[in-house]
Structure 1
């Protein structure tokens, strides 16, 4: 290693941990990753072990040191991007979680959210947070832990417990329990944060029966959050900055700095975000999100949340065993000329935007006796493109902004069949970055801005400009036929 300064990034996703080392030119010099266990204690329930997650972070940081020859002197800052709505409750003295982390996919609080709607709270929640009263978000998960884990409610009232999204948990652990903080993007996904006043909201805290003392301090994404002080880490006193939720991280990593610029991140689920700068009220299934806080200014975005995209392909592999490797999906889908009327609606944990039907369940429609592996695999890939189209169409109508192209990132962008089909369905260009880790790069750019590695967004715009362009090739009548088939299939699974 030279004396050049590098940025270390932790990407804590739904499926695992990834650590990246990035130089001033925005190049990923080294990366390593490990998966963590997914727990499904009941149908529709999803949990992670937060202790396992932090141990994985430490293991990868140690591996990075050993395999890249990086030293403390080479490192300028540590950045974090994370799965946003997954929530942890832990003891602030012992650091021991009172329960597993409840994951954003978990639907155990569907009934509680339905009760809130019936009690007339949905308008209050949406007007303050920009979000839906939906189990996707964090607050109802915290309330479930408070109501179902012995002693938690009393310990919370006594000021003995803390709550946080995964970024907040990692910051607290990395700083040896000295810093309890989060950024605006993660705070805004809890149903407890008022995106107008930029404060934790007392009225919402009362609705969910959560003491304010449990909550972290909220900062700009590019602020200094503290320094690493856990003595078991391979380095200490490393500044921590560049904290941002993964989808907003990808928006920043895709350099969507101007209103009307949109991106889709293909992960376990998919978040479609359009930068609006100023606040635009999300309606008809869209939510209003904080895009990022930076240098004392908060920018906003419209978001459509899709629950199951990459997870659908994982389901083909792990549960149905139709493919041995994820890469096989592209070959099978391309082996037939059309979908032959077969549609998969992947409502495994309900449907997100624009439907928001948590009780809906998955179905395969239109099968005949000739339906086989290629048709089902193709239907699974096509379902991803249809869901993104649902969201983009709604964004354009609600914002009165015509999106000319969509920037895409995430693991599924390597699937050329899917990317071409996405361009065809949207009837617009799809721009796939050559850098797959855009959520990480967003946190890296923000951290670099925070410690002065880069001086402005103009400098960042000059980095990582390589991409692959997919232009629409499908005729409008064929596009309309396929999309109508999708809409009819969705109507068959909606549960009102």
Structure 2
């Protein structure tokens, strides 16, 4: 009665097996290549995502009894857009990743044409290169020969969840769930379906898009010959941040979480009401039950947090692994006046400036790599505070994701936001959420109350620094952010 969850993230694919007790009994991770063909462009090879999925799944299946697997849940990097041939399942080009900034000009043109207010009204989003619709409009304009095959029906369009399900089922199903659909700029949030008006605006054929299915329930079946010998239901689908909200058992209105991944994302459950924000937050769908009831959320999307640590490792090569950062940063009492604004792909919430670029300021002859590493951890905490400053006051903040294992980061975060930061025993709540959805859809768990009982606190980080010191550091951060804006 175990469930496999596939977490197809931005830098790699994680496969986990989750027991009925809500524990992870097996895990595998496969990284794939990040392609940067031009400054501001980010792409992934779809076949590499698929091969990483197969490799991670095979490895995790080798650790368990295959006959115990009852269902598969899928969670994925959102907004990344892929094309694939409906017959061969091959892709004509690399995926355009959510971090990609090439569509800034498309957004500017549409904004100047007066479309942003209507787009925001229908979608809860804004005109930004982050979202899928602008990427599709760019493809139609710049790659007309490829786009002609989308218009003819030969190529399917979808996000990573749709692509993986097509590959797992040998092309039998072309589906997505409401949480992924709501990130495309093509989905009417309150009507709960694709919008003909928006499809026309962005020039996307409605027939090229996947069917929108519930977030849990048996919505497809894997093909054993295509997918590691498994013929089991795909019974849970959610975009990664909504999946983490579910995995943190944030089922009540007002429940909030922050996931530290490639970026960081703060989500608050707003119940069955579409809540609107004037402060740069996004209205989004969280999940939809099999009986058609949609739960919504408010989201603050930060584009680069964990990716800044990855840049320290791969770009500057001043650390060997992300796990080293806490130890290195702890060798200095503070960042020595150094402030790092990791606007490496522009700024997300609450600033929304695609033209911002990364900035490191305050360097002196005495600056060391330890100061820069600590400034990076502080930047992550500052970015999260930027978003939380626009939200109602919280009693506590539940955190998850890879960087949540960093004790120093969690402490800095608690000091900055002034409330306890709560870390669960299982920090891979993105994968856990997909497993919960799949298990809920196949009877492994009977209700969300059963799921709530699986959540266990590992550690609570209490604010302990002087509030004036925290606020002073935050004001210096805000000054640096203003200096980073409009650079590109």
TM range (shorter): over 0.9
Equivalent residues of 1:7, 1:76 under 8 A apart: yes
Query: Could you tell me how far apart the structure 2 residues matched to 1:336 and 1:75 are?
Result: 48
Residues 242-257 of structure 1 mapped to structure 2, 5 A cutoff? 242-257=236-251
Residue in 1 that maps onto 2:325? 329
Query: Could you tell me how far apart the structure 2 residues matched to 1:449 and 1:43 are?
Result: 43
Residue in 2 that maps onto 1:11? 7
When normalised by structure 2's length, the TM-score is 0.97
Match of 2:154 among 160, 170, 174: 160
Residue in 2 that maps onto 1:485? 476
Query: Could you tell me how far apart the structure 1 residues matched to 2:88 and 2:133 are?
Result: 23
Residue in 1 that maps onto 2:288? 293
Equivalent residues of 1:176, 1:230 under 8 A apart: no
Task: Measure how far apart 1:327 and its partner are.
Answer: 2.1
Query: Could you tell me how far apart the structure 1 residues matched to 2:436 and 2:90 are?
Result: 32
Query: Could you tell me how far apart the structure 1 residues matched to 2:349 and 2:60 are?
Result: 38
Task: Measure how far apart 1:152 and its partner are.
Answer: 2.1
Query: Could you tell me how far apart the structure 2 residues matched to 1:483 and 1:22 are?
Result: 40
Residue in 2 that maps onto 1:200? 194
Task: Measure how far apart 1:339 and its partner are.
Answer: 2.4
Q: Please identify, of 149-158 and 20-29, the stretch whose mean Cα deviation from structure 2 is larger.
A: 149-158
Q: Deviations over 1:64-118 (max 9, x none)?
A: 33x22422x3111011010011110112122121211111011111111111111
Residue in 2 that maps onto 1:176? 170
Distance 1:327 1:61, change over 3 A: closer
Equivalent residues of 1:172, 1:179 under 8 A apart: yes
Instruction: Mark the runs of 5 or more structure 2 residues left unpaired by the alignment.
Output: none
Equivalent residues of 2:168, 2:226 under 8 A apart: no
Query: Could you tell me how far apart the structure 1 residues matched to 2:455 and 2:294 are?
Result: 25
Residue in 2 that maps onto 1:70? 65
Give 3-state SS (helix, strand or coil) of 2:400's partner.
strand
Query: Could you tell me how far apart the structure 2 residues matched to 1:230 and 1:85 are?
Result: 28
Q: Does 1:413 align with 2:394?
A: no
Task: Measure how far apart 1:150 and its partner are.
Answer: 4.7
Query: Could you tell me how far apart the structure 2 residues matched to 1:34 and 1:463 are?
Result: 27
Task: Measure how far apart 1:431 and its partner are.
Answer: 0.4
Q: List, as ranges, runs of 4+ consecutive aligned residues in structure 1 with deviation greater than 3 Å.
A: none
Q: Please identify, of 354-363 and 232-241, the stretch whose mean Cα deviation from structure 2 is larger.
A: 232-241
Residues 308-319 of structure 1 mapped to structure 2, 5 A cutoff? 308-319=304-315
Q: Does 1:149 align with 2:143?
A: yes
Task: Measure how far apart 1:225 and its partner are.
Answer: 1.6
Q: Does 1:279 align with 2:270?
A: no
**Equivalenced residues, count:** 485
Query: Could you tell me how far apart the structure 2 residues matched to 1:64 and 1:58 are?
Result: 10
Give 3-state SS (helix, strand or coil) of 2:227's partner.
coil
Query: Could you tell me how far apart the structure 2 residues matched to 1:26 and 1:78 are?
Result: 15
Match of 2:182 among 171, 178, 188: 188
Q: Does 1:303 align with 2:294?
A: no
Q: Does 1:441 align with 2:435?
A: no
RMSD value, Cα: 1.3
Give 3-state SS (helix, strand or coil) of 1:17's partner.
strand
Task: Measure how far apart 1:190 and its partner are.
Answer: 0.4
Match of 2:84 among 82, 90, 93: 90
Give 3-state SS (helix, strand or coil) of 2:218's partner.
coil
Instruction: Mark the runs of 5 or more structure 1 residues left unpaired by the alignment.
Output: 397-401
When normalised by structure 1's length, the TM-score is 0.96
Equivalent residues of 1:341, 1:485 under 8 A apart: no
Q: Deviations over 1:346-404 (max 9, x none)?
A: 111101000000001111112222222121111111000000001011012xxxxx211
Residue in 2 that maps onto 1:399? none
Query: Could you tell me how far apart the structure 2 residues matched to 1:137 and 1:373 are?
Result: 35
Equivalent residues of 1:89, 1:101 under 8 A apart: yes
Task: Measure how far apart 1:425 and its partner are.
Answer: 0.2
Task: Measure how far apart 1:405 and its partner are.
Answer: 0.5
Residue in 2 that maps onto 1:135? 129
Residue in 1 that maps onto 2:352? 356
Equivalent residues of 2:17, 2:27 under 8 A apart: yes
Task: Measure how far apart 1:242 and its partner are.
Answer: 1.0
Residue in 1 that maps onto 2:55? 59
